[in-house]
């Protein structure tokens, strides 16, 4: 199989997820879990070691977002999308994906803060929840805008897609 074919499929999939995340701030299960399934089936066709490498890569990538997910700072769709990316690229490239996704997420968050597209109070609340043991989480949560507000959520799927492509272009 020519190398451009999986890259083209991955690009179309990432673009579809980016559009959904930018418009609705949601990553549909049909795309995230479907992408993971396609990646794992493709890897299974290449042999058991490739399949296991895909599972390990997916698990390693998903672990990055589990802590923020349990703090309600990341969505389940982001975790599933990152699992699917890790499954597609495998354990060999998982650390590179994590590096590039983290860097892309930082750049995206800074751009959203710079242009006033995200509420600064939510960022401060999450940082204090993690780093300040004396912080009154209930009072801080009550002062935040509702989760349905556009200013409450950053479309992290964009950062995952950008980080995936950066790993493909500049592997670590």
pLDDT, average across residues 25-36: 93
Residue 149: is its pLDDT beyond 80?
no
Residue 56's pLDDT is 96
Question: What is the spatial distance between Cα 51 and Cα 90, in angstroms, rounded to a whole number?
Answer: 8
pLDDT, average across residues 131-136: 83
Residue 172: is its pLDDT beyond 70?
yes
Tokens 């590179």 sit on residue: 96
Answer whether 32's CB lies under 8 Å from 16's CB: no
Q: Residue 148: which pLDDT band, with cuts at 50, 70 and 90?
A: low
Rounded to the nearest 10°, the torsion over CA 149, 153, 154, 160 is: -130
Residue 2: is its pLDDT beyond 70?
no
Give the C-alpha distances (Å, rounded to integers) separating 126 from 141, 149, 151: 9, 17, 15
- Tokens describing residue 49: 């070691």
Residue 121's pLDDT is 73
pLDDT, average across residues 62-86: 90
Question: What is the spatial distance between Cα 66 and Cα 44, in angstroms, rounded to a whole number?
Answer: 26
Residue 117: is its pLDDT beyond 80?
no
Residue 101: is its pLDDT beyond 70?
yes
Domain ranges of the chain: 4-114+157-169, 119-152
Question: What is the spatial distance between Cα 65 and Cα 75, in angstroms, rounded to a whole number?
Answer: 9
Residue 1's pLDDT is 56
The predicted-structure confidence for 34-62, as pLDDT tens digits, reads as follows 999 999 999 999 999 999 999 999 999 99
Answer whether 168's CB lies under 8 Å from 7's CB: yes
Residue 150's pLDDT is 57
Q: What is the DSSP string of 75-139?
A: -HHHHHHHHHHHHHH-GGGHHHHHHHHHHHHHHHHHHHHHTT-S-HHHHHHHHHHHH-TT--HHH
The share of the chain scoring above pLDDT 90, in percent, equals: 56
Task: Give the count of beta carbons closer than 10 Å to the beta carbon of residue 172.
Answer: 11
91: Cβ contacts below 8 Å, ≥ 6 apart: 53, 54, 56, 57, 60
Q: Is the sign of the CA dihedral 95, 99, 100, 105 positive or negative?
A: positive
Computed over every residue of the chain, the mean pLDDT equals 88
Answer whether 86's CB lies under 8 Å from 59's CB: yes
């Amino acid at each position: 199989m020519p190398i451009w074919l999986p890259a083209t499929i991955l690009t179309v999939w990432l673009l579809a997820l980016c559009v959904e995340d930018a418009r609705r701030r949601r990553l549909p299960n049909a795309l995230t879990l479907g992408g993971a399934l396609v990646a794992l089936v493709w890897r299974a066709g290449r042999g058991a070691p490739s399949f296991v490498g895909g599972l390990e890569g997916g698990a390693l990538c998903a672990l990055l977002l589990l802590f923020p997910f349990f703090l309600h700072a990341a969505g389940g769709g982001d975790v599933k999308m990152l699992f699917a990316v890790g499954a597609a690229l495998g354990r060999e490239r998982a650390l590179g994906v994590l590096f590039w996704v983290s860097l892309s997420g930082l750049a995206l968050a800074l751009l959203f803060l710079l242009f006033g597209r995200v509420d600064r109070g939510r960022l401060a609340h999450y940082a204090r929840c993690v780093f300040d043991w004396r912080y009154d989480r209930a009072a801080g949560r009550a002062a935040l805008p509702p989760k349905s507000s556009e200013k409450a959520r950053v479309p992290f799927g964009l950062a995952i897609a950008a980080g995936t492509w950066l790993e493909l272009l500049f592997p670590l």
